Structure 1
Amino acid sequence: MESQSGKLWKALNRGLDICVVGLMAFLVIDVVWQVCSRYLLANPSSWTEELATFLLVWVGLLGAAVALRERAHLGINYLTAGMRPRAQHTAEVFALASTALFCVLVFIYGGTALVVRTVALNQLSPALGIHMGYVYLALPIGGLFMTGYSLRRLAACFFHVTSVDRPHR
């Protein structure tokens, strides 16, 4: 029987996957429209490049969280490959704790401060006219996911759980 927290993480994982795939599909459609309007219609859209940039920010940060969950980030294991298992475990704990701390300080704390500041200044994007706070909101949201996945894997290191954040398919 699956625990309540397991069900919550499964739902969060599924929702994040759907968001990343949906945003990526929207990004592809936007870029294709940009190319078609520029070269086929000879009337380039003024907003497509800005939208593509904003979508790329969201896809990049949420995709980084998915990559962290799936252990798909590049890692340099040259140094740890020759270590004893206990030293490898210590290195993994250090890397996960450092990742969580970085995400909290930079993405969550710094990202939230940036969102608050841009909302207070009423900063709008030039072409689309949307609040830049919506764009920058990707920082704390992506940071929350990355911190959660880092802490979850960190807890698994201490409790020797092997099934944390494995692909849910």
Structure 2
Amino acid sequence: MRRTLAWLRALADNVSAALLAAMFAAFILQIFTRYVMNDPLSWTQEVCVTAWLWLVLWGSAFSLTERDQVRFDVLYTWVGHRTRRWFAITSAAALFAGFAASFPASLDYITFYRIKKSPTIGIRLDVVFSVYAIFAAAVIVRSGYEVWRLLRGGRLPEERQTDHSEEHTGVPTI
């Protein structure tokens, strides 16, 4: 199971790298055609924006680990271990509830966009924005797992950062 999960994580990282490469290539091509050829291409900006959207949401869903996330923990560091546990549970539960509650409406909105296409390339916008549904589903699964894990006495996020053996537990971590 761990080997499969490691393979899936590597695949997700490769998708992120391919998106970054596509964005960079389109950006360089845009600069070249605009400033060297004096004949800018219109589609390169759309490729950059779409690749960036997919890169950010795909990477957040599958490539980032718990220790990669930005946290605002001023109050969190001032309280004791037991209160930290409840802060972590409350935070994960809020993420779970918010994303789970908004998921059906998000899917509805994304599928509504099947009638529209991007202005330059002509990609259906439901395809462009479908990455948000993937991201939201990953957040729901990860935060739900985090609540379950913490309620069962699992380590707090900062305790897990020092021990990499729990980093890849089978469910991607937020």
- TM-score normalised according to structure 1 size: 0.82
For structure 2, the 5+ residue unaligned runs are: 161-165
Quote the Cα distance in structure 2 between the aligned partners of 1:99 and 1:71: 17
Quote the Cα distance in structure 1 between the aligned partners of 2:16 and 2:168: 17
- Is the 1:111–1:137 contact (alpha carbons within 8 Å) kept by the matching residues of 2? no
| AA in 1 matched with 2:55 | V
Identity %: 18
Aligned residues: 160
Give the match for residue 71 of structure 1. 67
Of residues 58-67 and 77-86 in structure 1, the stretch that sits farther from structure 2 once superposed is: 58-67
Among 37, 44, 57, the residue aligned to 2:53 = 57
Give the match for residue 14 of structure 1. 10
- Is the 1:109–1:140 contact (alpha carbons within 8 Å) kept by the matching residues of 2? no
For structure 1, the 5+ residue unaligned runs are: none
- Is the 2:13–2:63 contact (alpha carbons within 8 Å) kept by the matching residues of 1? no
Give the match for residue 95 of structure 1. 91
- Is the 2:95–2:143 contact (alpha carbons within 8 Å) kept by the matching residues of 1? yes
Give the match for residue 30 of structure 1. 26
Taking the TM superposition and a 5 Å limit, the aligned residue runs for 1:1-169 are: 4=1, 6=2, 9-66=5-62, 69-106=65-102, 108-119=103-114, 122-159=115-152, 160=154, 162=160, 163-165=166-168
Quote the Cα distance in structure 2 between the aligned partners of 1:103 and 1:39: 44
- Give 1:124 deviation, angstroms: 0.9
Q: 1:129 to 1:22 in 2, by over 3 A?
A: same
- Is the 2:12–2:62 contact (alpha carbons within 8 Å) kept by the matching residues of 1? yes
Quote the Cα distance in structure 2 between the aligned partners of 1:146 and 1:53: 23
Question: How big is the alpha-carbon RMSD for the aligned residues of Structure 1 and Structure 2?
Answer: 2.3
- TM-score normalised according to structure 2 size: 0.80
